[in-house]
Homo-oligomer: A and B are copies of this chain.
Amino acid sequence: MATMKDVARAAGVSTYTVSAALSGSAYVSPELKARVSAAVAALGYERNSMAQSLKRGMSSLIGLIVSDVTNPFFTEFVASIQNEARQAGYSVLLGVSGHDLDSEEELLGLMRSHQAAGTILCPAGGERDYPPARLPNGKMKVVAADNAAPELGVDTVTLDNLLAAEMAVRHLLSLGHRRIGTVAGFAHQHVSRQRLQGYGAALQGAGLDADPALISHGNFRIEDARAACKRLLGLRERPSALFVANNLMLIGVMQALSDLGVRVPQDISVCSIDDFPWASAFQPALTVVRQPIAAMAAAALSCLRSRLEGDRQPVRHLVFAPELVIRQSSAAIG
């Protein structure tokens, strides 16, 4: 593989000139620039970004850690980040923690060891799981997204999860439902608790008492949600509506409902958080609260970039507004 030295020799200039011409950092005469370009093309030269990063003490890599790519929210988040990052000249190092904190920590270490300029982390844990100052320890900047508590001590980009849940539940209430169950996420995760709190707040706002029996944890997983849904439907007093805390669990819920022969929306109304391609193709089309994923991804990246450029402002918390998309899985109580 050709090195910069080879290019310099071929172009009859010094390595400095090649470096400067390539990165446009300093003025290089048009003529020399042309000679350099010609030599680069002739040799098929490609800059060794390892050497560059080593010298600069920072790479053009961005870490991206999610708990589960398979979750359509993260899928789209990853797609958006990768897209934006590339446009900004960064490459993305993907890590999947599988909702495991140790794995997440290992991944963070990997990102650091690869000298990632920064990392966008979608944390797997709740605020309790992160000892103070564990995250912002070193020169690698991190911004947390999605399941990110303000207590983490880093910039965060999140949905207004409390409001999202409230919107979903208030929608169900407005259709006349009074007995509304919820399939909630991992109890220790910040998003889950926010959404659960929003659920409670909406019920309370309607003058209803929260019945603990109506809360069933599906742990953000298909199988667990299936079981959780069956628990809810096994209740003596069945709920007439279900609020599901994310899209993956919605799959499990719809499977369970189908298994039990319960019709949507005739027998039960369903509303969940997270929109995704199948939601509109599904029969019935699914009523959901949508997250502005692309905007959140863009914000996370631009926040990270501004930190990389030396922004020393106090920690920022960006919160995005959810949007209710009413389709056919929710209907007035029969």
Contacts and interface: CB of A to CB of B under 8 A. Distances in A.
B59 A69 contact: no
A258 interface: yes
A176 to B, nearest CB: 24
A269 interface: no
Nearest to A226: B281
Given A83-B96, A93-B93, A255-B280, A114 B49 contact: yes
Interface stretch (A8-16, A71-79, A300-308): A71-79
Contact of A46 (B68, B70, B112): B112
Nearest to A139: B1
A325 interface: no
B283 A255 contact: no
A280 B253 CA distance: 12
A250 B281 CA distance: 9
B53 A82 contact: no
B75 A70 contact: yes
Contacts of A136: none
A76 B69 CA distance: 8
Copies of this protein in the assembly total: 2
A258 B114 CA distance: 49
Interface in A134-178: 137-139
A92 B91 contact: no
Given A69-B79, A69-B82, A139-B1, A50 B46 contact: no
Contact of A113 (B49, B70, B139, B277): B49
Interface string A58-71: 01010010001110
* Residue in A75, A92, A281 with the greatest tally of chain B CB atoms within 10 Å: A281
Given A78-B94, A281-B254, A113 B69 contact: no
A54 B48 contact: yes
Contacts of A115: 48-50
Interface string A8-49: 000000000000000000000000000000000000101111
Contacts of A123: none
Nearest to A58: B50
B258 A277 contact: no
Contacts of A132: none
Interface in A237-277: 248, 251-252, 254-255, 258, 277
21 contacts: A1-B138, A48-B54, A48-B115, A49-B113, A50-B53, A51-B54, A61-B114, A69-B75, A69-B79, A69-B82, A70-B76, A75-B75, A78-B94, A82-B94, A91-B95, A92-B93, A94-B94, A248-B277, A254-B281, A255-B280, A283-B283
Q: Nearest 5 CB-CB pairs, A to B?
A: A254-B281, A94-B94, A50-B54, A278-B278, A255-B281
